[in-house]
């Protein structure tokens, strides 16, 4: 058996054993740790085949078992592939073609790359979005205020290649090791390009906030704290920050990250906003950020295994939860305050559907609703709506 047959066989075994119960990156790391026969080059090659398979599985499901994996390499890779040259040398010669041409060569229904197109927001370009799954998004970082030149100088000194998107956003090759070069969270935040823009409404409206003192703000689904750091930087540190989330362990990690970023927390507490939380918050806020739990469909280019294992019924379940959480948080919005509803979903029910619900049932005024489209930038796709009352 050639090493290429072995790589395909290994990728099949691994993806068959994986049931989607944890991120694939953790699963495959454990698999390789338990199977010492794989060298570093073999691990890298097999892992790449697995990820290519997840990106293309629904579109190639009618092909033979081996071809599902081999042709996935042709569709997803752009550089010469020894594996593809071994099985299909004529395709390897064309591996650098544009994605749409490669799809045409294999006579594939591109719509099947993202089989949930009927649920997709009409604001998004379905063909472009579907084809984007064949390419891994870039690694983006946001440079913290005052640390922009420091980071760039450190990268240049270390020989790290980067693309300058704007004055405080850089794109790097995936898997670039940063921890030994810069101080993560203090110097720069690892944050997708479009995630960096979901609070841009504040750039032109900070004059509406109270002058000369810190603005109280509540991040009600704080998670790892990325939006809290972004809010702090948008307001130039003049924010009195309250953070909450559903579990103490999540808040612990959030607090640790904010400490690394030198962002002060005024208050933190555990709250499940799908349940009644009377008495948790004694005051209302001029700013509330609700980065709601969602399907994450706008980020599946990074984690294509989630696309592979997704069940369509989940969309409605998330939309119901989002309505409940947003409605509960809105009770604490001051008159004239700003409420940011954010998801990393591309589904209409989770975005426009929730916006419509909040307008009709909760009496808030929509100031802006926008998709931050990532499929032409090798970035995630985000949605953000801004309300006031």
CATH of the domain at 143: 3.30.70
- Co-location of 236 and 88 in the same domain: no
- Co-location of 144 and 68 in the same domain: no
List pLDDT tens digits, range 110-135.
899 999 999 999 999 999 999 999 99
Q: How far is the CA of 169 from the CAs of 177, 227, 257, in angstroms?
A: 17, 15, 20
356 assigned to some structural domain: yes
In the predicted model, what is the mean pLDDT of residues 344-351?
98
- Co-location of 165 and 275 in the same domain: no
- Co-location of 181 and 107 in the same domain: no
CATH of the domain at 351: 3.40.50.150
Residue spans of beta strands (DSSP E) within the chain: 139-143, 162-166, 169-172, 188-190, 215-219, 239-245, 267-270, 285-291, 333-343, 365-372, 382-388
63 assigned to some structural domain: yes
284 assigned to some structural domain: yes
Cβ within 8 Å of residue 103, ≥6 positions away? 75, 110, 131
Boundary-marking domain end, from 157, 190, 223: 190
- Co-location of 271 and 352 in the same domain: yes
- Co-location of 236 and 370 in the same domain: yes
In the structure, what pLDDT confidence band is assigned to residue 321 with cuts at 50, 70 and 90? Answer: very high
In the predicted model, what is the mean pLDDT of residues 312-339?
96
Using an 8 Å Cβ cutoff, are 325 and 274 in contact? Answer: yes
Q: Whole-angstrom Cα distance, residue 4 to residue 84?
A: 9
pLDDT of residue 235: 95
- Co-location of 215 and 302 in the same domain: yes
- Co-location of 25 and 147 in the same domain: no
Boundary-marking domain end, from 51, 79, 113: 113
Whose CA is closest to 345, among 378, 376, 305, 306? 306
In 3-state terms, what secondary structure has residue 166? strand
- Whole-number mean pLDDT of the chain? 95
Q: What pTM was estimated for this model as a whole?
A: 0.95
Q: Which strand ranges, in their side-by-side order, compose the sheet holding 239-245?
A: 267-270, 239-245, 215-219, 285-291, 333-343, 382-388, 365-372
- Co-location of 8 and 77 in the same domain: yes
Boundary-marking domain end, from 151, 175, 190: 190
In the predicted model, what is the mean pLDDT of residues 48-53?
98
- Co-location of 204 and 327 in the same domain: yes
Host domain of residue 186? 139-190
List pLDDT tens digits, range 252-261.
999 999 999 9
- Co-location of 351 and 274 in the same domain: yes
127 assigned to some structural domain: no
Q: Whole-angstrom Cα distance, residue 183 to residue 171?
A: 17
Using an 8 Å Cβ cutoff, are 121 and 151 in contact? Answer: no
Run of H or E including 153: helix 148-158
Helix, strand, coil percent content, the chain, rounded in steps of 5: 45, 20, 40
Domains in the chain, number: 3
List pLDDT tens digits, range 162-221.
999 999 999 999 889 999 999 999 999 999 999 999 999 999 887 666 666 899 999 999
| Tokens describing residue 312 | 């369509």
pLDDT of residue 180: 92
37 assigned to some structural domain: yes
377 assigned to some structural domain: yes
Convert 37-66 into a string of H (helix), E (strand) and C (coil).
CCCHHHHHHHHHHHHHHHHHCCCCCCCCHH
The crossing angle, in degrees rounded to 10, of helices 40-56 and 65-76 is 100
Whose CA is closest to 87, among 70, 107, 65? 70
- Co-location of 177 and 273 in the same domain: no
pLDDT score of 278 more than 70? no
230 assigned to some structural domain: yes
Q: Whole-angstrom Cα distance, residue 202 to residue 200?
A: 5
74 assigned to some structural domain: yes
Count other Cβ atoms within 10 Å, centred on residue 78. Answer: 13
């Amino acid at each position: 058996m050639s090493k290429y047959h072995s790589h395909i066989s290994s990728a099949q075994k691994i993806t068959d054993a994986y049931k989607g119960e944890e991120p694939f990156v953790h699963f495959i790391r454990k698999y390789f740790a338990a199977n010492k026969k794989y060298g570093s080059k073999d691990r890298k090659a097999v892992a790449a085949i697995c990820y290519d398979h997840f990106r293309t599985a629904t579109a190639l499901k009618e092909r033979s078992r081996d071809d599902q994996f081999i042709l996935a390499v042709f569709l997803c890779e752009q550089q010469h592939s020894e594996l593809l040259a071994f099985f299909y040398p004529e395709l390897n010669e064309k591996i650098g073609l544009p994605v749409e041409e490669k799809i045409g060569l294999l006579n594939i229904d591109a719509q099947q790359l993202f089989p949930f197109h009927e649920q997709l927001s009409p604001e998004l370009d379905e063909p472009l979005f579907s084809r984007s799954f064949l390419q891994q998004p870039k690694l983006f970082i946001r440079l913290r205020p005052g640390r922009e030149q420091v980071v760039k100088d450190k990268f240049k000194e270390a020989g790290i290649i980067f693309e300058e998107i704007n004055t405080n956003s850089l794109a790097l090759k995936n898997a670039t090791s940063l921890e030994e070069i810069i101080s993560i969270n203090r110097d720069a935040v690892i944050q997708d390009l479009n995630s960096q823009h979901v609070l841009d409404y504040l750039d032109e409206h900070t004059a509406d906030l109270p002058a000369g003192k810190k603005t109280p703000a509540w991040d009600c689904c704080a998670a790892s704290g990325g939006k809290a750091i972004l809010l702090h930087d948008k307001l130039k540190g003049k924010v009195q920050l309250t953070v909450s989330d559903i579990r103490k362990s999540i808040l612990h990690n959030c607090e640790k990250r904010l400490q690394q970023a030198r962002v002060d927390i005024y208050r933190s507490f555990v709250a499940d906003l799908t349940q009644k939380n009377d008495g948790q918050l004694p005051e209302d806020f001029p700013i509330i950020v609700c980065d709601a739990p969602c399907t994450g469909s706008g980020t599946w280019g990074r984690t294509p295994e989630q696309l592979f294992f997704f069940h369509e019924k989940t969309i409605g379940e998330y939309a119901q939860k989002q309505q409940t959480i947003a409605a509960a948080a809105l009770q604490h919005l001051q008159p004239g305050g700003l409420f940011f509803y954010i998801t990393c979903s591309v589904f209409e029910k989770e975005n426009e559907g929730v916006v419509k619900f909040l307008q009709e049932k909760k009496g808030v005024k929509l100031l802006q609703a926008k998709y931050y489209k990532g499929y032409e930038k090798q970035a995630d796709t985000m949605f953000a709506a801004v309300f006031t009352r």
